[in-house]
Amino acid sequence: MTSELVIQDLHVSVSDGEKEVLKGVNLTIRQGEVHALMGPNGSGKSTLSYAIMGHPHYTVTGGDILLDGESILELEPNERARRGLFLAFQYPVAVPGVSMANFLRTAVSNVRGYTDQPAPSNGGGKSGVVGSNLMPMRDFRKELLDKMDEFNVDRSFAKRYLNEGFSGGEKKRAEILQMAMLQPKIAIMDETDSGLDIDALRVVSDGVNKLAGPGLGILLITHYQRILNYVQPDYVHVFYNGRVVISGGAELAHQLESQGYQWVKDEFGEAELVAV
């Protein structure tokens, strides 16, 4: 069965409820599809990505988010990840003291259900506590090193603290590695091209293309057409004033590149900036 993420008439406000950011978003993403979501600054694109993953700063005031036909609005972010969602952040956060390898082993163990199993016996006849079990180190290490080689991530990253001291390109490569290990059904990539030089952009795009396929649906959020020179979208959507206003094929991205967003503003009216 092909998994799909369905966003139905989604309305979202910031946590104080005073400012509506998303104003009726409708969008469907299926495994095997690459969707590009483009729009000017302040149109609400990042808010959409956070709302999908359940960020507590945003409150859904109307509509629904369905994954495989079931609403996920009541699920915590980690539960949404276990169901098969993944968010690559525009600005990944550094986590001092937590190595990339330890972070990934914990995340993979949680998503794949290892933490639901009791830990092996401690030798005294009693098994460990449920939630303390992790993917066997030998299996994890082999898979991690294989993925690092496949996605051009230096093996030294495994010992480095998560994103601490990483360049913009290194952070984005690390997120591609996380996707490869976690194997989500649907991935939302928020401004993946942000802060990348041309060489880093090519490496990251190559990783996205390797991951894209029948088992993964991708929502690629971007301001610019340049990443779409390397990652070919099946669908392009224009996001403006908190909703999808136009959808089309790859040619729509080229139109935006050549003409900018002024024609969108002219057609749909000037709007107050609603989000970053």
The tens-digit pLDDT sequence of the chain (276 residues) is: 899 999 999 999 987 667 899 999 999 999 999 999 998 888 899 999 999 999 999 999 999 999 999 999 999 999 999 999 999 988 888 999 999 999 999 999 999 989 887 766 555 444 555 456 899 999 999 999 999 999 989 999 999 999 999 988 889 899 999 999 999 999 999 988 877 888 888 888 999 999 999 999 999 998 888 899 899 999 999 999 999 999 999 999 989 888 988 898 888 876 554 444
Predicted pLDDT at 125: 45
Phi, psi of 205 (to 5 degrees): -65, -40
Q: Hey, where are the domains in the chain?
A: 1-92+184-276, 94-165
Predicted pLDDT at 268: 86
Q: Burial level of 256, CB count in 10 A (0-12/13-18/19+)? A: buried
Predicted pLDDT at 210: 94
What global pTM score does this model have? 0.89
Predicted pLDDT at 127: 52
Residue 50 tokens, joined: 């956070």
101 - beta bridge partners? none
Which residues have CB under 8 Å from 37's CB, separation 6+? 27, 45, 48, 219, 220, 221, 222, 237, 239, 244
- Cite the DSSP H helix spans in 84-232: 100-111, 137-150, 168-182, 198-211
| CATH number for region 1-92+184-276 | 3.40.50.300
Predicted pLDDT at 126: 47
